[in-house]
C-alpha cells in the first residue's frame, strides 16, 4: 500500500533538511519537496541533489517570479502599501504566492498534508497557514517547531539529527544572520541586530546594496514610464515588471538606496528588529508616488492613503486571500486608470532626488498655480470661500466670547 504524501516547503537550508527525515520517521509520509522560486537566484543551485540525498521522493522547483512581480508586488506598489511607515513587505508579499503553489502541488500529488519550517515566534507561520486554509481547508498543516514530537531545540541539535540519519552536508553552527531573499528584497535578523542598542555592522551585513558613504560621488539620472499605474520602462527601455525590478535593484544597489533598520510589531505580539535591503523596490515606490501626485485629486489621495495603510496591514498579517484585500485592491486599481506618464530622478548616496515628472493626465495647471492672475482664478473669489470655510470656527469663537462676557458680569 502506497504511503500518504506530504508537501514540504523546501529551501535547502538546515531546518528544512532536518525536517525531511523527521517527517518520514514521525509520520511515515513520502516527502515531496517544493521550492518556490520568487527570484532568490543562486540559492536554488544544487537543491535537486540535496533533497533526494536527504530522503525526499521528489523535488519541484517552481518559478513564480513573474507572477510575484505582477500579481503581488504591483498591487502593493499601486496602493503605496508600507507597513509601519518603513517596511516594504518583501517577505509578506511573497508568502501568499508560495502558499498557492504549495496547494497546487499538493493537489497534483494527492498529498494529505503540507509542512513548513517556520518557527512559532514569527509571522511566516501565520502567512503560510492562512493562505493554505483559504485555498485548501481540507489539507492538514504540519508545523514541526510547534509539534510536540519535534525534540530538536538548536542548530547543533539539527546537525546532530542529520548526521544520525546519514546526512552529512556542510552545515555549520557558526552564527550568521537569518536572511530571506527574493526579487524584491533581502531581510536580515540576528547577531548584533538582536540588541536594538547596537548599530548594524553594514560592512558585514549588506548583500544587495552599497553603503551610501561608499556609493559613487557622481549621481545618476534615471527615467521611468508608467501606464495605468504599472511600470513599463526604465531609461527608455521597455521591460516586463520583474526585469524592471532587477534593473532598479542594480541601480539602487550601486547608489546605496533602500536600506532600512526597523523595530517592527509582529503579528504574534512581540517586537523584532531587522534590516531590510530593498533598493529597486524603494525606487519603484517613490517613482510611482512621484507620478501619482500629478494625477490624483486631493480627496482620492487621502482615502487611498488610508486604504494603502490598511492593505499593508492585511498583507503583513497573511490575509491576502480575503474579501477585504480584494476590495481594497479593486478601489486602488480604479484610482490608477490615469496614472500614466514619465518620471525622472537622480540617485545619489542613498537619496532619490526628484528631477521632473510629466503626464497627459496631469491635474497641475500652470496658470492656476502661478502667482500671476489668470482667467480661471480670481483672487477675490477666495474671500467668500474663506468666509464659508471658516464659518464654524467663527461661530464657535463668538459663542465662547459671549459665554466669557456673561461670566465676567456675574
Give the tens place of pLDDT for each residue, 235-281: 999 999 999 999 999 999 999 999 999 999 999 999 999 999 999 99
Give the tens place of pLDDT for each residue, 134-188: 999 999 999 999 999 999 988 899 999 999 999 988 887 766 899 999 999 999 9
Global confidence as pTM: 0.93
Residue-level pLDDT at 115: 98
Query: Per the residue annotation, which of 37, 80, 124, 180 is the catalytic one?
Result: 124
Give the tens place of pLDDT for each residue, 193-229: 999 999 999 999 999 999 999 999 999 999 999 999 9
Residue 317: pLDDT above 80?
yes
Query: Per the residue annotation, which of 66, 71, 147, 178 is the catalytic one?
Result: 178
Query: Per the residue annotation, which of 15, 37, 80, 180 is the catalytic one?
Result: 15
- The C-alpha cell 489668470 sits at 374
Q: Which fold has domain 5-164?
A: Rossmann fold (3.40.50)
- Tell me if residue 195 is catalytic: no
- Tell me if residue 66 is catalytic: no
- The mean pLDDT of the chain is 94
- Tell me if residue 178 is catalytic: yes
Domain 178-296+339-358: give its CATH code: 3.90.1260.10
Query: Per the residue annotation, which of 11, 80, 92, 95 is the catalytic one?
Result: 95
Domain ranges within the chain, ordered by starting residue = 5-164, 178-296+339-358, 366-405
- Tell me if residue 181 is catalytic: no
Amino acid at each position: 500500500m502506497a504511503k500518504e504524501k506530504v508537501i514540504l516547503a523546501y529551501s535547502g537550508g538546515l531546518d528544512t533538511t532536518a525536517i525531511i527525515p523527521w517527517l518520514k520517521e514521525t509520520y511515515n509520509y513520502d516527502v515531496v519537496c517544493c521550492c518556490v522560486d520568487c527570484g532568490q537566484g543562486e540559492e536554488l543551485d544544487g537543491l535537486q541533489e540535496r533533497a533526494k540525498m536527504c530522503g525526499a521522493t521528489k523535488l519541484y522547483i517552481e518559478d513564480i517570479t513573474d507572477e510575484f512581480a505582477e500579481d503581488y508586488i504591483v498591487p502593493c506598489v499601486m496602493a503605496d502599501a508600507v507597513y509601519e511607515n518603513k517596511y516594504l513587505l518583501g517577505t509578506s508579499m511573497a508568502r501568499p504566492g508560495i502558499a498557492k503553489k504549495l496547494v497546487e502541488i499538493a493537489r497534483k500529488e494527492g498529498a494529505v498534508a503540507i509542512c513548513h519550517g517556520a518557527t512559532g515566534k514569527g509571522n511566516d507561520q501565520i502567512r503560510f497557514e492562512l493562505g493554505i486554509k483559504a485555498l485548501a481547508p481540507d489539507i492538514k498543516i504540519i508545523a514541526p517547531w510547534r509539534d510536540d514530537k519535534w525534540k530538536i531545540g538548536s542548530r547543533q541539535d539539527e546537525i546532530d539529527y542529520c548526521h544520525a540519519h546519514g546526512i552529512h552536508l556542510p552545515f555549520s553552527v557558526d552564527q550568521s544572520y537569518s536572511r530571506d531573499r527574493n526579487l524584491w528584497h533581502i531581510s536580515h535578523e540576528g547577531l548584533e541586530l538582536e540588541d536594538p542598542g547596537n548599530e548594524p555592522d553594514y560592512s558585514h551585513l549588506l548583500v544587495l546594496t552599497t553603503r551610501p558613504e561608499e556609493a559613487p560621488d557622481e549621481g545618476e539620472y534615471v527615467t521611468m514610464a508608467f501606464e495605468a499605474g504599472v511600470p513599463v520602462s526604465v531609461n527608455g527601455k521597455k521591460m516586463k515588471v520583474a526585469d524592471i525590478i532587477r534593473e532598479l535593484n542594480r541601480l539602487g544597489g550601486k547608489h546605496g538606496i533602500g536600506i532600512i533598520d526597523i523595530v517592527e510589531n509582529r503579528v504574534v505580539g512581540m517586537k523584532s528588529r531587522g534590516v531590510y535591503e530593498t533598493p529597486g523596490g524603494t525606487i519603484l515606490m517613490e517613482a510611482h508616488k512621484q507620478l501619482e501626485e500629478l494625477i490624483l485629486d486631493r480627496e482620492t489621495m487621502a482615502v487611498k492613503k488610508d486604504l494603502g495603510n490598511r492593505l499593508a496591514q492585511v498583507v503583513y498579517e497573511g490575509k491576502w486571500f480575503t474579501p477585504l484585500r480584494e476590495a481594497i485592491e479593486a478601489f486602488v486599481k480604479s484610482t490608477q486608470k490615469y496614472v500614466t506618464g514619465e518620471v525622472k530622478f537622480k540617485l545619489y548616496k542613498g537619496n532619490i532626488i526628484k528631477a521632473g515628472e510629466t503626464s497627459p493626465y496631469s491635474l497641475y495647471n500652470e496658470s492656476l498655480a502661478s502667482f500671476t492672475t489668470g482667467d480661471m482664478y480670481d483672487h477675490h473669489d477666495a474671500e467668500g470661500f474663506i468666509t464659508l470655510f471658516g464659518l464654524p470656527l467663527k461661530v464657535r469663537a463668538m459663542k465662547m466670547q459671549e459665554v466669557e462676557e456673561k461670566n465676567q458680569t456675574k
